[in-house]
Structure 1
Amino acid sequence: MKKDETLKSLENAEVELTRFVETAKSLIDGIDPEDRILPTSSRETKFGQWFYTDGQKLKILSNNPLECMSNIEELHDKLHERYREIFDLYFAEEKKGGFLLRIFKPKQKVLTESELKLVNEKYLAMEQIAEELLAEIARLQRRLVAVSEEKINALV
Structure 2
Amino acid sequence: MASIAEKVRKLRAQRGWTLKQLSAYTRVSISHLDAIEKGTRKSPSFQIMVQLADAFEVPIAYFRDDVAVSDHPSAADHAVQAAPAPQTDTALQGDAALSRLYDADTRRFIVSEQARPYVALAKQLAEQSQSAPALDTSALLQVIAAFIRDRETSYES
Q: TM-score, normalised by structure 1?
A: 0.24
Higher helix share: 1
Q: TM-score, normalised by structure 2?
A: 0.23
Look at both structures and tell me which one has the larger radius of gyration over its CA atoms. 2
